[in-house]
Amino acid sequence: MKLLVASHNKGKINEFKEILKNTEFEVISLADLNDTDEVEETGLTFYENAYIKANYYFQKYNLPVISDDSGLVVKVLNNQPGVYSSRYSGKGDYENNLKLLSNLNKETERKAHFECVLVYINKHGDLHSFKGRLYGAIHYEMKGVQGFGYDPIFYLKRYNKTLAELGSLKNRISHRSKALAKFKRYIYENTYNK
């Protein structure tokens, strides 16, 4: 069964494909459909933004669609950048990281979490959502070259590394992998246990 990932983010699409391999889904992306539409994320929550994207592409293609909205939540910054994570600086990933480090400056309270909300619309138009979180802290500098987004500054004490230093391990522990694990469990229970 085809499953459309409603994203133009290559890093995110690769994570979906890696995490959902060996499932019943043939994961396709918007690039596979030569679709360059940009859907404006006007929601105030991760769920609202994920729903806006999923619903738009479901209506357009009438295919099962999965969409996520995710971001970094830093407690001491009043939960910023939150839903504005990808456009925090108005530029790219590197500038977003620099802005966040600058805003934290010498702040010692650096607890943070990544949050992912998935919205899945099946071929019948039924909607389901799944959430995943990964807790950590903001490092004082960028470290590592793998991953994308805030991975170079998101520090995990138990590994003594940032997400950008973890390689393939990231896809087994990330906020997105946790949400996708719930999605896979839902699909399995509703496909095989009827």
For 159, the token pair is 């590994």
Using CA atoms, how far residue 50 sits from 47, 64, 171, in Å, is 5, 14, 20
Contacts of 154 (CB under 8 A, 6+ apart): 72, 112, 114, 134, 136, 137, 138, 139, 162, 163, 164
For 172, the token pair is 């087994």
Residue with tokens 């590197």: 94
Residues 37, 68, 69, 93: which is the catalytic one? 69
Residues 150-177: b if buried by 16+ CB within 10 A, e if exposed: bbbbbbbeeeebbbbbbeeebbeebbbb
Residue 2: CB atoms within 10 Å: 13
Q: Is-catalytic flag, 68?
A: no
Q: Give me the active site residues, please.
A: 69
